[in-house]
Structure 1
C-alpha cells in the first residue's frame, strides 16, 4: 500500500485556513445551513481551493474533529509526561484533568448539529461511531496512567471511557446554559469524582493512597 503524499507547506496552510474558516462558519450559521461558498469566503479562497482539499463539508468537519481530538490527546499526554501538581485527593486530580478538556461553546454548537446530521445519514453515522471509538481507545491509556499517578487502578476500562464521555457531553450543556453558575461547575466535578470512584480501586502501597486513604 502506498504511503499518503506529504502536503507542501503552502498546501498545509491552505488546508488549515479552510479548517479554521469552516469552524467559524459552522458555529455562526449552523452546520446544516453552511455552504462551501461561505467557508471559502471566510477562509479567503475559491471553490477550487476547497475541492482540491476536501470532497464535502462532511469530510471537512471530520478533519476538524480529528484535529481537535489530537489536540486533546496531546494535552493529556503532556500532562502524563510532566509532574502532576500536588493533589490532596481525587477531586483535585479530577479538576486538573478537567482543566485540560475545557467546555468550548463554539465547538459544542458545531458538534451537536453535526451529530444530529450524522444520525440521519447511516454511512456517516458509522464513520462517526468508528472515530469516537478510536478516540476513546487512544485516550483511555492516558487516563488510566494519570489515575495511576494518584494511586488508583481502573476496574472496568470498558465502562469508564463511555461513562466519562457521557458525563462530559451532558454536563457541557449545563455549563454552557448557565456559564456563571458555580454550583453547576461544582456538580460537574462531583459527577466525575463519583464515576471515577465507582470504577476504580486504590493501588496497594501507593504513596497517594497511603497519605490519603
Structure 2
C-alpha cells in the first residue's frame, strides 16, 4: 500500500468537512494539504505550483492529494471556503462584543475590519487565482457565486451594526458591492505601503463615507 493510499483514510469516528463525513486520518491529511498549499501558493504563485510541490511540502504522495481533491483549483476553492467561514464567524462575533457601543460608527467599522485582517499572503494567492479564473469562464462563475454568498452572509452583520447606530439601508445589495470595492482598493494600498499608518485611518474614513452614503436615519 502506498503512503498516499494509507493516508486516504482509516477506521474510526468520523468528522465533518464541508458537509462530507470523513475519517479522522483523512481530515488531518486534507488540512495538511491545505496548509501546505497556502504556503506554496504564497511563495511560488498559484500558476507556478504543481500537485507534486504541494504534496512534498505536506509530506504525502499524489495518491493522498487525489483522494481529497481533483485539482489545485478545487483545493484553492476549499481553502477559500474555509478561510471565508472563519472570517464570517469573526465578523458575526463583533455583534456580541461588550464594546460594540451603539452611537459609535467608527468603532463598529474598526471592529468589523479587525475580523477581515490585511493578509499579504492571502492577497497574493487570491489575486493570482482571480487572474487564473478570468481565463476560465466556468471557474469565473464559481468565484462570482462564492463572492455573492460571502457578501450575503456578511451583509446582515453590517445591517445590524447600522441599526444599532440609528441608520437604515434602503439597498443592502448596492451597499455590499460598494463595501467590497472599498475593501479591495484600500487593501491594496495598505499592502503596498505597510509602514504608512495614515492609510489605515483613511481606510476607516472611506468605509464610513460609503456607509453614510448608502444609508439614512432610521425612522
Normalising to structure 2: TM-score of the pair?
0.87
Alpha-carbon distance in structure 1 between the residues aligned to 2:87 and 2:99 = 17
Residues 1:158 and 2:173 are matched in the alignment: yes
Match of 1:142?
Answer: 157
Q: CA deviation at 1:164?
A: 0.7
Higher relative contact order (CA 8 A, sep 6+): 1
Residues 94 and 111 in structure 2, CA contact (< 8 A), matched pair in contact too: no
The alignment's C-alpha RMSD in Å is 1.4
Matched pairs, number: 201
Q: CA deviation at 1:124?
A: 0.5
Alpha-carbon distance in structure 2 between the residues aligned to 1:162 and 1:100 = 18
Normalising to structure 1: TM-score of the pair?
0.90
5+ residue gaps, structure 2, are 1-18
Q: CA deviation at 1:170?
A: 0.8
5+ residue gaps, structure 1, are 205-213
Match of 2:6?
Answer: none
The one-character-per-residue Cα deviations of 1:10-59 (angstroms, maximum 9, x if unpaired) are 11111111111100000000000001011011111111000000000000
Alpha-carbon distance in structure 1 between the residues aligned to 2:166 and 2:83 = 29
1:40 counterpart (55, 67, 72): 55
Q: CA deviation at 1:202?
A: 2.4
Q: Detail structure 1 runs of 4+ shifted over 6 Å in the superposition.
A: none
- In structure 2, relative to structure 1, the CA distance for the partners of 1:5 and 1:87 (3 Å cut) is closer
Which of 157-166 and 138-147 deviates more?
A: 138-147
